[in-house]
């Protein structure tokens, strides 16, 4: 369980990274040797970045702004989380963000703000509705159908999602989408501003809300504001496929801290900023209201191992569990659990399974692939197509190889109750996680955490997953290589127990150490006001002695 407060913020040891780390606060996080190319920068190392924190000079009194970050040392500090969707207190959490933030917010004195999940016909903006969720207040607004379409289905999920996952063929670069995206960010910021208290720390999540801090700053807010990008950030040439990329990426400069999943994402941002002269452009415009000194660092997200292992299936998942239990008594199981999203590589995974059955007839009738695929974003055309394609592949494989008493692919096109997942993972000899691109992928970590250490299963993981560098003791495969994936399936199915145990011990070490709490604490430590005062002190020294400043 999480602590009731935000312990990281109060930690006296939270300020400086050891010298062999690039970022974050603990040496185990990101070692230089893990890095792909040259050292990913904290953003304050870029030439031309203003050395001093520049406070807002403009802005209305919409926000109760603060002028001195070091004043944030009182005990009345609240964590304000902003995300597109909030948790539904009446439903089990599904989806990476809800799972990652749900329990933390339940036990934290905070405010969680975002879209309600409801659209209206009215052009007028709804008022903010609040309800309690443990110790947190959930605050939500409805959006008009038109605005929501451009912001969510449009720019967020038909531009940013495909481009950031390097699936450009699914991008729809309609210029109207960006306008609605900006409007919604502005609208949300204008609603949150008056609710902020002096000592609040604001943590904004994900690609739907990149310009959010810029909009809050325009209203005069000077709070510490952090951003965490849950999905990959691609190389500059790919980002530049978005017509509005300059405006978009400038939005990140209004945060105090920008968190990414992997060092590669940090490197891509640094490289983009350098190539595009991002810092210089902002300096030339002398836009004091928006200029900050953002730090950009990698914080790979983890899971709460104990909470996951403690989950017990409820009666509502008995039917699906009985089917899978029955199958596991007869054959070896392989399992995939995903949202039905083109980034997750589900068709290639199925094709690799077909290749396995073609090339290893002896395994027919001895292995079953359980694929659980939750419908998602069904109003975006690319998702409806994927849904048809996946169903067709499943049917083809079952028609080609199935027998009276064997269905090679058990396909559940639904979101399964989270409580049932650990048992499903544990029953499966192979966990199959093969995204083409994925910020992190929590299913990979959940699969490891749920295993019985005496007789663990094997994780087949694609290098497209952000978790691949942490989980390098899994069987790593290239996401687009069907034959390599099929071979890894065979290796996993035939791996002797001692090897499975050996790999599992190593994988578990990482999953347990770099867990959800560690992610949250390292992030909030870096965002904490004490970090701000450390930064501002080091700037003061740098300015007094030009020789000691960043080059
Ligand atoms: P997602 O793309 O949603 O998250 P992922 O990290 O795999 O992907 O998280 C999915 C969560 O939802 C897991 O906890 C999983 O158990 C659950 N889930 C998935 N499919 C399910 C199903 N069919 N039924 C029930 N539960 C299901 C985004 C990024 C990821 C990043 C997370 C967190 O795309 O790369 O890891 O945010 O940062």
Cβ of residue 205 lying under 6 Å from some atom of ligand 1:
no
pLDDT on residue 294: 87
pLDDT on residue 462: 98
Residues 350 and 484 in one domain: yes
Confidence (pTM): 0.85
Query: Residue 371 contacts by C-beta under 8 Å, 6 or more apart in sequence?
Result: 335, 336, 346, 349, 350, 394, 409, 410, 411, 412
> For residue 277, is it within any domain?
yes
Query: In which order are the strands placed within the sheet that holds 79-85?
Result: 129-133, 136-144, 110-120, 79-85, 201-205, 224-228, 257-260, 295-298
Is residue 106 a contact partner of residue 134, using CB atoms and an 8 Å limit?
Answer: yes
Is residue 80 a contact partner of residue 111, using CB atoms and an 8 Å limit?
Answer: yes
Distance 248 CA to ligand 1 centre (A): 25
Distance CA 172, CA 321 (A): 40
Tally of CB atoms within 10 A around 150: 22
Handedness of CA 471, 393, 160, 243 (dihedral sign): positive
Residues 251 and 313 in one domain: no
Handedness of CA 524, 526, 527, 531 (dihedral sign): positive
> For residue 82, is it within any domain?
yes
Q: What CATH number does residue 367 fall under? A: 3.40.50.2000
Distance CA 434, CA 334 (A): 13
Distance 64 CA to ligand 1 centre (A): 36
Distance CA 8, CA 153 (A): 36
Write out pLDDT tens, residues 285-306.
655 555 567 899 999 999 999 9
Distance CA 145, CA 27 (A): 47
Which of the following is catalytic: 438, 473, 504, 515?
438
Residues 327 and 297 in one domain: no
pLDDT on residue 378: 87
If one residue of 94, 260, 314 were mutated to test the ligand 1 pocket, choosing by the most ligand atoms within 8 A of its CB, it would be: 94
> For residue 3, is it within any domain?
no
Residues 228 and 316 in one domain: no
Is residue 228 a contact partner of residue 203, using CB atoms and an 8 Å limit?
Answer: yes
Tally of CB atoms within 10 A around 276: 17
Tally of CB atoms within 10 A around 8: 22
Cβ of residue 230 lying under 6 Å from some atom of ligand 1:
yes
The angle at the Cα of 103, spanning 192 to 458, to the nearest 5 degrees, equals: 130
Q: H helices of 373-430, where? A: 381-401, 421-427
Tally of CB atoms within 10 A around 534: 15
Residues 219 and 358 in one domain: no
pLDDT on residue 278: 86
Residues 312 and 263 in one domain: no
If one residue of 95, 343, 465 were mutated to test the ligand 1 pocket, choosing by the most ligand atoms within 8 A of its CB, it would be: 95
For 136, phi and psi rounded to 5 degrees? Answer: -100, 150
Which of the following is catalytic: 106, 165, 223, 230?
230
> For residue 269, is it within any domain?
yes
* Domain count across the chain: 2
Residues 146 and 278 in one domain: yes
Is residue 498 a contact partner of residue 513, using CB atoms and an 8 Å limit?
Answer: no
Distance CA 80, CA 221 (A): 13
Secondary structure string (H, E, C) spanning 247-293: HHHHHHHHCCEEEECCHHHHHHHHHHHHHHCHHHHHHHHCCCCCCCC
Q: Which stretches of the chain drop beneath a pLDDT of 50?
A: 1-75, 538-551
The pair of structure tokens assigned to 497 is 């127990």
Ligand 1, atom nearest to 341 Cα:
2
Distance CA 339, CA 405 (A): 28
230 is annotated as an active-site residue: yes
| Residue keyed to tokens 């691609």 | 234
Residues 377 and 505 in one domain: yes
Residues 369 and 433 in one domain: yes
The pair of structure tokens assigned to 79 is 């964590």
User: Which residue owns the Cα nearest ligand 1 atom 22?
Assistant: 415
Distance CA 306, CA 21 (A): 28
Cβ of residue 478 lying under 6 Å from some atom of ligand 1:
no
> For residue 544, is it within any domain?
no
Residues 159 and 285 in one domain: yes
pLDDT on residue 496: 98
Ligand 1, atom nearest to 301 Cα:
38
pLDDT on residue 77: 83
The pair of structure tokens assigned to 369 is 């692939």
Residues 523 and 504 in one domain: no
Residues 60 and 146 in one domain: yes
Cβ of residue 441 lying under 6 Å from some atom of ligand 1:
yes
> For residue 171, is it within any domain?
yes
pLDDT on residue 14: 28
Show the domain range for 362. 306-513
> For residue 363, is it within any domain?
yes
> For residue 12, is it within any domain?
no
């Amino acid at each position: 369980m999480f602590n009731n407060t935000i312990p990281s913020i109060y930690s006296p040891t939270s300020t400086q990274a050891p010298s062999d780390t690039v970022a974050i606060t603990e040496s185990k996080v990101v070692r230089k040797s893990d890095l792909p190319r040259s050292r990913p920068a904290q953003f304050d190392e870029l030439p031309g970045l203003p050395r001093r924190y520049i406070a807002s000079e403009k802005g209305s009194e919409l926000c109760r702004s603060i002028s001195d970050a070091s004043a944030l040392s009182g005990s009345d500090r609240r964590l304000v989380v902003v995300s597109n969707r909030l948790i539904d207190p009446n439903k089990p959490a599904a989806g990476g963000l809800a799972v990652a933030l749900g329990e933390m917010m339940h036990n934290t004195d905070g405010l969680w703000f975002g879209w309600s999940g409801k659209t209206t016909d009215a052009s007028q903006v709804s008022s903010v509705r609040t309800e309690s969720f443990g110790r947190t207040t959930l605050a939500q607004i409805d959006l008009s159908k038109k605005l929501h379409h451009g912001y969510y289905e449009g720019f967020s999920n038909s531009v940013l999602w495909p481009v950031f996952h390097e699936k450009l063929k699914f991008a729809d670069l309609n210029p109207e989408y960006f306008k609605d995206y900006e409007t919604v960010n502005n609208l949300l910021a204008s609603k949150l501003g008056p609710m902020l208290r002096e000592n609040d720390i604001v943590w904004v999540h994900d690609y739907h809300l990149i310009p959010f801090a810029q909009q809050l700053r325009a209203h005069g807010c000077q709070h510490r504001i952090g951003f965490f990008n849950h999905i990959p950030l691609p190389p500059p040439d790919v980002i530049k496929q978005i017509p509005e990329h300059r405006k978009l990426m400038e939005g990140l400069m209004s945060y105090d801290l920008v968190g990414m999943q992997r060092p590669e994402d940090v490197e891509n941002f640094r490289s983009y900023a350098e190539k595009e002269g991002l810092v210089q452009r902002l300096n030339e415009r002398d836009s004091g209201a928006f200029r900050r000194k953002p730090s950009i660092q990698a914080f790979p997200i983890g899971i709460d191992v104990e909470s996951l292992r403690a989950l017990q299936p409820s009666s509502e998942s008995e039917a699906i569990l009985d089917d899978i239990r029955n199958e596991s008594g007869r054959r070896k199981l392989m399992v995939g659990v995903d949202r039905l999203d083109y980034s997750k590589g589900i068709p290639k995974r199925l094709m690799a399974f077909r290749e396995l059955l073609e090339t290893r007839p002896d395994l027919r009738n001895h292995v079953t692939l359980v694929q659980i695929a939750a419908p998602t974003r069904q109003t975006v055309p690319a998702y409806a197509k994927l849904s048809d394609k996946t169903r067709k592949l499943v049917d083809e494989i079952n028609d080609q190889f199935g027998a009276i008493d064997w269905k090679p692919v058990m396909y559940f096109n639904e979101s399964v109750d989270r409580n049932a997942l650990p048992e499903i993972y544990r029953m499966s000899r192979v966990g199959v996680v093969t995204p083409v691109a994925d910020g992190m992928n929590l299913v990979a970590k959940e699969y490891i955490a749920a295993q019985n250490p005496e007789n663990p299963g094997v994780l087949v993981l694609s290098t497209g997953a952000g978790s691949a560098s942490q989980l390098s003791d899994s069987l790593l495969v290239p996401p687009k290589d069907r034959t390599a994936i099929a071979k890894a399936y065979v290796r996993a199915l035939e791996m002797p127990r001692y090897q499975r145990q050996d790999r599992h011990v190593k994988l578990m070490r990482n999953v347990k150490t770099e867990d959800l709490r560690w992610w949250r604490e390292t992030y909030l430590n870096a965002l904490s006001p004490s970090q701000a005062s450390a930064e501002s002190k080091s700037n003061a020294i740098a300015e007094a002695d030009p020789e000691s400043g960043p080059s």
